[in-house]
Amino acid sequence: MALVYQQVEFLRKLLRAGSLSGAGRFVDKLEPAEIIDLLESVGPSEYPLLLRVLFSPGRVGAVSPLRVIPKDLLATFLERLDDRGLARLLKPLSTDDAVTVLELVGNERAPGITQLVSDPEQREQLRQALHYPPKSAGRLMNHHFLAAPESFTAQQAIELVRAPSAHAASTMSDLYTVDARGRLTGLVPFWKLVRAESEALLSGIMEPEPSHVTTSDDQELVATLAARYGFLTLPVVDAEKCLVGIVTMDDVLDVMQDKATEDLYRLQGISDGDRLGASVGASYRRRIPWMSANLVTAFLAASVVGLFEHTIAQLAVLAIFMPVVAGMGGNVGTQVLTVVTRGMALGEDRFLSVVRVLGKQLAIGVLIGASVGAMTAGAAYLWKGDPRLGVVLFLAMIINLAVAGLAGATVPTLLKALGLDPALGSGVLVTTCTDVVGFFSFLGLASLMMT
Amino acid sequence: MALVYQQVEFLRKLLRAGSLSGAGRFVDKLEPAEIIDLLESVGPSEYPLLLRVLFSPGRVGAVSPLRVIPKDLLATFLERLDDRGLARLLKPLSTDDAVTVLELVGNERAPGITQLVSDPEQREQLRQALHYPPKSAGRLMNHHFLAAPESFTAQQAIELVRAPSAHAASTMSDLYTVDARGRLTGLVPFWKLVRAESEALLSGIMEPEPSHVTTSDDQELVATLAARYGFLTLPVVDAEKCLVGIVTMDDVLDVMQDKATEDLYRLQGISDGDRLGASVGASYRRRIPWMSANLVTAFLAASVVGLFEHTIAQLAVLAIFMPVVAGMGGNVGTQVLTVVTRGMALGEDRFLSVVRVLGKQLAIGVLIGASVGAMTAGAAYLWKGDPRLGVVLFLAMIINLAVAGLAGATVPTLLKALGLDPALGSGVLVTTCTDVVGFFSFLGLASLMMT
């Protein structure tokens, strides 16, 4: 898969000769990993040219680097360009892709780069987009849509579609209709335009009151709407209901993948930037505050064990079974937590009462506790020959797994009721719960029944 | 949000009077949770009618129950219908939605229900779809696409689009072209058709060699292609390259959400059917095999502690710090595992060498181990006043977190290299690793240095 020296040299020659289209044909045949290789191999003079080749769209089969190269890696490549180079890079991009590039190089440089964009229309669109809050529909939308007054006839609309200025909107499948003040009133799918009589008014064939979002709506809301209703594109309106852009499904996919990663990470207390490609220093700095917080909760569990130091000194065998009790409790708690938070992320919790969810997880916890407790008790009796140890383990396991089921369901429910993200750090709260209860019930029962 | 008695009675009257359109307008105003209420409130005679109303598409603003009601809950409602009732329910659905319904009621009933479908074309399409393997593109595709021979003129193609038979394909934005043997050769976006001269041949305006998938391709491959290239629809061809269907992005979204849930579940050893709405018995049966396997690994950790029973009998204080060592190791291991498996799911690992990933996670583990170890050592010294305990904890923490980082990265990498799912059960493998190494290093160092 690695590129050979001759290939890199050939591309450098193409770039130096100014044959950007030849270079384009060359990079189109490469795998994403080879493109990374290339970016790391070419010299500083060819570097900005290569990025421009990669970012120039419109070649058949060409894939935007924004889609195939991981964002954090791409950011390191983009950061090496100066403001002028970045402004030139933005030129062929749609507003949403250009905004992504600006977000990758950072908020500080974005205004300066925007200033250097040569096309006044693009400059203005970028300036507006950067005014919208991060993660809003306004930043996700692009301006390549087709709109016509609803008073147009089908024939007039077709002429509009045929006009060279409409070429940029070529991937779209709908024509939006607006009233005299530019407010969104309906949509006419192209197939309807194809079928309509020439003299038919758009107001007669349009589908009125189309679904839409506003510029300030959260991108996750857009993703939810798109997923629920199966929209391929969604129009975006401003506060005055004027049509200002559209969001297409491919952008929504990115939002959904980011959301899935975010949920998974928050459950484990991992910070967003801690990706596979992050540097050692960056990962360390991001993990250390969380690990310090974890240490506090670990000492909480340790202090529970400390209450029974005297019992353990008499019965060192108890220490052997501590990992079993704590491990099984942590496992059940984390499983229940995962089921509940994922159900919340998919909106399944809207159909079930809180009491039913909690009651059910408690019941499953007791059942699993009894089964696993019986197995543990049997194994411990066979190993150590002490029937009292078996009874203590059996009872402690039921208590611990019941609490694990309850905690796994209660913690995210409470966090959600408080208006917080149900996944945020809930993993550590639940395992702290199961550790404390597990050690207390096991060692407590042991000191009552075995000493 | 709950429905009042009068509303339910009003709907029952509409259904008994056979006013399905009136009932349709009524249910369109309801929230998904209210629809569930309704399904649980109406009598057995109105029940099949209500489901038919819910599943009849085409009303503006209507949302398919397939999109908003959780699948496992919907399955319990569908199962209450007999085969004939289900066959009637399928009638207005597209093939992909009908296949989803058949999959929900189970593979045993599917052939019998298909037999009862009255429309011979739909019956044949369903029979074919059920022949494709589960989770293949063949089951995801629908047949509502428009295709024309590439020898047609633009005018002929427009007439084809205008024909009443083309109405079912109304949501599509492209016309596919095929050769004389029905093989896919290109696509013509509707906007190109609108712009073209009447006499232009499709072969002249089509975009040749369009991206496509085959009926046997995995649905996740379809999702990956759609996400990477931003396709809104993808044509599906059979083994002879003949165009047989299309996949639209809304179906792909479901596949991606299912995939995200699956990854998350496998990491925690949760089985697919264990959703928020599953019954106590079903959840219990699904969890107990995994918990039994976990018990074996917990006993493995316990047996390591068992090696040092004598040391613990002398120094019960060691038992207090066991949860700290094990907890921090498990935490780091799980975090690294999550970062690595998520990176693999998003394809980020293609850009990084295995050695670099492992080396980096090892380095971060050592760094975090030294920091957290120093904090632990300090806290333990302040609490118990024994400097040797601090030294043992410091060293054990470095060893354990280094191993945790390495195991978190190695386990999924090995599983992937073996052709297995990197997420499958890797959580328990990693924590078993960290428990065993953690207890062995901590108790081993203690028995060397403190006794």
The pLDDT tens digits of the residues spanning B296-346 come to 888 999 999 999 999 999 999 999 999 999 889 988 898 888 888 888 877
Residue A141 CA to residue A211 CA, distance in Å, equals 15
* Helix-helix angle A317-345:B280-306, to 10 degrees: 150
Q: What pLDDT is recorded for position A57?
A: 62
In which band, very low, low, confident or very high, does the pLDDT at A171 lie, cut at 50, 70 and 90?
A: low
Do B243 and B365 fall within a single domain? no
Do B300 and B438 fall within a single domain? yes
Does position A170 have pLDDT exceeding 50, yes or no?
Answer: no
B177 vs B290, which has greater pLDDT? B177
- Cα B47 to its chain centre, rounded Å, is 30
**Which residue of A68, A309, A320 is in closest CB contact with B309?**
A320
- Cα A439 to its chain centre, rounded Å, is 37
Does position B276 have pLDDT exceeding 80, yes or no?
Answer: no
| Residue A96: closest CA among A144, A168, A32 | A144
Residue A269 located in a structural domain: no
Helices (H), A132-267: 137-140, 154-162, 190-195, 202-205, 219-229, 249-267
**Could you tell me if residue B87 is left (phi over 0), alpha (psi between -120 and 50 degrees) or otherwise beta?**
alpha
Q: What pLDDT is recorded for position B41?
A: 79
In which band, very low, low, confident or very high, does the pLDDT at A172 lie, cut at 50, 70 and 90?
A: low
Q: Which amino acid is at A354?
A: V
Residue B198 CA to residue A394 CA, distance in Å, equals 82
For B67-162, list the strands marked E by DSSP: 146-149
Residue B130 located in a structural domain: yes
Q: What pLDDT is recorded for position B62?
A: 56
Least confident of A162-166, B311-315, B397-401: A162-166
- Contacts of A158-164 with C-beta under 8 Å, sequence gap 24+, read A158/A193, A158/B194, A161/A190, A161/A193, A161/B191, A161/B194, A161/B195, A162/B194, A162/B195
Residue A30 CA to residue A28 CA, distance in Å, equals 6
Three-class secondary structure of residue A114 per DSSP: helix
SS3 content of chain A, % helix, strand, coil (to 5): 65, 10, 25
Q: What pLDDT is recorded for position B143?
A: 80
Q: What pLDDT is recorded for position B288?
A: 84
Does position A402 have pLDDT exceeding 70, yes or no?
Answer: yes
| Cβ-defined contact of A351 to B32 (cutoff 8 Å) | yes
Does position A99 have pLDDT exceeding 80, yes or no?
Answer: yes
Q: Considering only alpha carbons, which residue of chain A is nearest residue B366?
A: A284
Q: Which of A176, A248, A249, A271 to mutate to test the interface with B (most CBs of B within 10 A)?
A: A249
Does position B403 have pLDDT exceeding 80, yes or no?
Answer: yes
Q: Which amino acid is at B424?
A: L
| Residue B439: closest CA among B296, B314, B309 | B309
Mean pLDDT of all residues in A43-49: 82
Chain B residues within 8 A of A265 when measuring between CB atoms: 338, 342
Q: What pLDDT is recorded for position B365?
A: 92
Q: Which of A290, A335, A372 to mutate to test the interface with B (most CBs of B within 10 A)?
A: A335
CATH number for the domain spanning A389: value is 1.10.357.20
Mean pLDDT of all residues in A156-182: 77
Mean pLDDT of all residues in B29-48: 79
Do B260 and B284 fall within a single domain? no
Do A117 and A219 fall within a single domain? no
Residue A300 CA to residue B251 CA, distance in Å, equals 47
| Cβ-defined contact of A322 to B322 (cutoff 8 Å) | yes
Which residues, other chains included, contact B341 with Cβ-Cβ below 8 Å and sequence gap of 6+? B263, B267, B412, B422, B423, B426
Q: What pLDDT is recorded for position A76?
A: 81
Does position A198 have pLDDT exceeding 90, yes or no?
Answer: no
Q: Considering only alpha carbons, which residue of chain A is nearest residue B327?
A: A298
Contact indicator for A231, A225 with CB cutoff of 8 Å: yes
In which band, very low, low, confident or very high, does the pLDDT at B169 lie, cut at 50, 70 and 90?
A: low
Do B38 and B108 fall within a single domain? yes
| Residue A71: closest CA among B441, B383, B248, B346 | B346
Q: What pLDDT is recorded for position A190?
A: 79
Do A31 and A128 fall within a single domain? yes
Total length of chain A: 451
Of A217, A234, A264, the residue that ends a domain is: A264
Q: What is the pLDDT of residues A207-256, one digit of tens each?
A: 898 889 999 999 888 887 777 666 778 899 999 999 999 888 777 777 77
CATH number for the domain spanning A158: value is 3.10.580.10
Residue B411 located in a structural domain: yes
Does position A17 have pLDDT exceeding 70, yes or no?
Answer: yes
In which band, very low, low, confident or very high, does the pLDDT at B60 lie, cut at 50, 70 and 90?
A: very low
Return the exposure string of B398-419: e unless at least 16 CB atoms fall within 10 Å of the residue's CB, then b: bbbbbbbbbbbbbbbbebbeee
Count of CB atoms within 10 A of residue B236's CB? 27
Does position A348 have pLDDT exceeding 90, yes or no?
Answer: no
Residue A271 located in a structural domain: no
Do B106 and B197 fall within a single domain? no
Residue A144 CA to residue A73 CA, distance in Å, equals 28
Q: Count, in order, helices (H) and strands (E) of chain A.
A: 22, 7
Q: What pLDDT is recorded for position A21?
A: 82
Q: What pLDDT is recorded for position B58?
A: 54
ipTM, two decimals? 0.72
Least confident of A152-166, A282-296, B40-54, B344-358: B344-358
Contact indicator for B393, B376 with CB cutoff of 8 Å: yes
Residue A244 CA to residue A183 CA, distance in Å, equals 9
Considering Cα of A69, then A71, then A73, then A77, what sign does the dihedral take?
positive
Mean pLDDT of all residues in A325-336: 89
Mean pLDDT of all residues in A359-384: 93
Of B216, B240, B264, the residue that ends a domain is: B264
Residue A268 CA to residue B335 CA, distance in Å, equals 6
Chain A residues within 8 A of B364 when measuring between CB atoms: 280, 283-284, 287
**Running DSSP on this structure, what letter comes out for residue A153?**
B
* Helix-helix angle A219-229:A249-267, to 10 degrees: 110
Residues of chain B with pLDDT > 70, as a percent, come to: 93
| Cβ-defined contact of A338 to B268 (cutoff 8 Å) | yes
Residue A272 located in a structural domain: no
Does position B292 have pLDDT exceeding 70, yes or no?
Answer: yes
Does position A3 have pLDDT exceeding 70, yes or no?
Answer: no
Q: What pLDDT is recorded for position A342?
A: 80
Helices (H), A208-353: 219-229, 249-267, 280-306, 309-314, 317-345
CATH number for the domain spanning B12: value is 1.25.60
| Cβ-defined contact of B190 to A195 (cutoff 8 Å) | no
Contact indicator for B62, B26 with CB cutoff of 8 Å: no
Q: Which of B140, B255, B351, B355 to mutate to test the interface with A (most CBs of A within 10 A)?
A: B351
Do B57 and B92 fall within a single domain? yes
- Structural domain boundaries enclosing B183: 146-264
In which band, very low, low, confident or very high, does the pLDDT at B168 lie, cut at 50, 70 and 90?
A: low
The chain-wide mean pLDDT, for chain A, equals 85
Q: What pLDDT is recorded for position A152?
A: 94
Least confident of A42-56, A63-77, A374-388, B93-107: A63-77
Q: Find the largest Cα–Cα distance for chain A.
A: 97
Residue A157 located in a structural domain: yes
Residue B324 CA to residue B442 CA, distance in Å, equals 10
Do A151 and A130 fall within a single domain? no
Do B335 and B440 fall within a single domain? yes
Q: Which amino acid is at A22?
A: G
Number of domains in chain A: 3
Q: Which of B287, B367, B394, B428 to mutate to test the interface with A (most CBs of A within 10 A)?
A: B287
For B209-349, list the strands marked E by DSSP: 213-214, 233-237, 243-248
Chain A residues within 8 A of B249 when measuring between CB atoms: 230, 232, 249-250, 253
User: What distances in angstroms separate CA A158 from CA A189, A200, B192, one per listed residue?
Assistant: 12, 12, 11
Q: Phi, psi (5° rounding) for residue B316?
A: -60, -20
- Top mean pLDDT of A90-99, A247-256, B239-248 is at B239-248
Chain B residues within 8 A of A166 when measuring between CB atoms: 191
Q: Between A and B, how many residue pairs show a Cβ–Cβ distance under 8 A?
A: 352
Q: Considering only alpha carbons, which residue of chain A is nearest residue B349?
A: A276
Of A195, A229, A264, the residue that ends a domain is: A264
SS3 content of chain B, % helix, strand, coil (to 5): 65, 10, 25
Q: What pLDDT is recorded for position B170?
A: 46
| Residue A62: closest CA among B49, B211, B197 | B211
Return the exposure string of A145-175: e unless at least 16 CB atoms fall within 10 Å of the residue's CB, then b: bbbbbbebbbebbbebbeeeebeebeebbbb
Least confident of A123-127, B279-283, B292-296: B279-283
Q: What pLDDT is recorded for position B273?
A: 66
Do B228 and B333 fall within a single domain? no
A243 vs A196, which has greater pLDDT? A243
Least confident of A170-174, A233-237, B212-216, B314-318: A170-174
Chain A residues within 8 A of B190 when measuring between CB atoms: 173, 190-191, 194
Residues of chain B with pLDDT > 90, as a percent, come to: 35
Contact indicator for B365, B402 with CB cutoff of 8 Å: yes
Q: What pLDDT is recorded for position A45?
A: 80
| Residue A403: closest CA among A337, A304, A450, A323 | A337
Total length of chain B: 451
First to last CA, chain B: 67
Mean pLDDT of all residues in A36-47: 80
Q: What is the pLDDT of residues A418-431, one digit of tens each?
A: 888 887 778 888 98
Q: What pLDDT is recorded for position B372?
A: 93
Residue B344 located in a structural domain: yes
Which residues, other chains included, contact A397 with Cβ-Cβ below 8 Å and sequence gap of 6+? A325, A328, A369, A370, A372, A373, A376, A377
Q: Considering only alpha carbons, which residue of chain A is nearest residue B435?
A: A323
Least confident of A368-382, B179-193, B375-389: B179-193
**Running DSSP on this structure, what letter comes out for residue A108?**
T
Residue B140 located in a structural domain: no
**DSSP β-bridge partners for residue A179:** none
Do A400 and A290 fall within a single domain? yes
A443 vs B331, which has greater pLDDT? A443
- Cα B339 to its chain centre, rounded Å, is 18
Structure-block tokens of residue A408: 């796994």
| Radius of gyration for chain B, computed over Cα atoms and rounded to the nearest angstrom | 30
Q: What pLDDT is recorded for position A168?
A: 59
- Top mean pLDDT of A371-385, B214-228, B410-424 is at A371-385
**What's the half-sphere exposure (Cβ side, CA atoms, 13 Å) at A176?**
27
Three-class secondary structure of residue B419 per DSSP: coil
- Cα A335 to its chain centre, rounded Å, is 21
